[in-house]
Amino acid sequence: MTELLDLVGIFVFALTGALMGVRKRLDVVGMGVLAEITALGGGVVRDLILNVRPAAFQSLGYVLVPLVATVIVFFWHPHVARVMPVILVLDAAGLGLFSAVGTQKALEYGLSPLHAALLGVMTGVGGGMLRDVLAGEIPTLLYDRQLYAVPAMLGSGAMAALASHGLHGWPATLAAAVLAFGLRIAAMRRKWRAPLARGTGE
């Protein structure tokens, strides 16, 4: 079940990477690279820090799913763009899931709750940051003030706190993921933004 949820999250992240490739007028190879990086980058960085073989290299599905997303966007990107609101909701779900699962995995490898939560955030947002850098963009995480990293931080922090109190397994993971998902959805609907430095105009 966990792997299936992982693959769904990977697929959604890959769609956003391939769509970035369309916007940057990349060919199908460039689209595929951005899709793979967006979908797998955060998890690969996490596993390298944990000094374990990345999960993306243990299952063929992890590599093939982003390629499927690339093909879909390559042929039908206008239709995919039209359902972007649905993709954003699924992206929020993927953010919550990856942040919680990433934190849990880091805890299993002996990291402190704080460091595990940081790796959880990296799992959730790292792929998108790598995508933006490769596409020649300032990572949207840094300049558009969307509350994207904050939900990941809260979800990862909640996962670490629950584990510290002896709560493990899928109920804890689900609770942390839902927290991050709910905050991200609320931020999108209410257009919440991170504050600017004092004295800085909008």
DSSP 34-73: HHHHHHHHHHHHHHHHTTS--GGGT-HHHHHHHHHHHHHH
Six-digit token pair at 151?
């939900």
pLDDT for the residue numbered 9: 87
pLDDT band at 84, cuts 50/70/90?
confident
Q: Would the pLDDT of 108 be above 70?
A: yes
Chain-wide mean pLDDT for the chain?
90
Q: Which residue has the higher pLDDT, 112 or 56?
A: 112
pTM of the model: 0.89
Are the beta carbons of 88 and 17 closer than 8 angstroms? no
What are the backbone angles phi and psi of residue 168, rounded to the nearest 5°? -125, -175
pLDDT for the residue numbered 196: 79
pLDDT for the residue numbered 129: 92
Q: Would the pLDDT of 193 be above 90?
A: no
pLDDT band at 44, cuts 50/70/90?
very high
pLDDT band at 175, cuts 50/70/90?
very high
Using alpha carbons, select from 137, 25, 33 the residue that is nearest to residue 77: 25
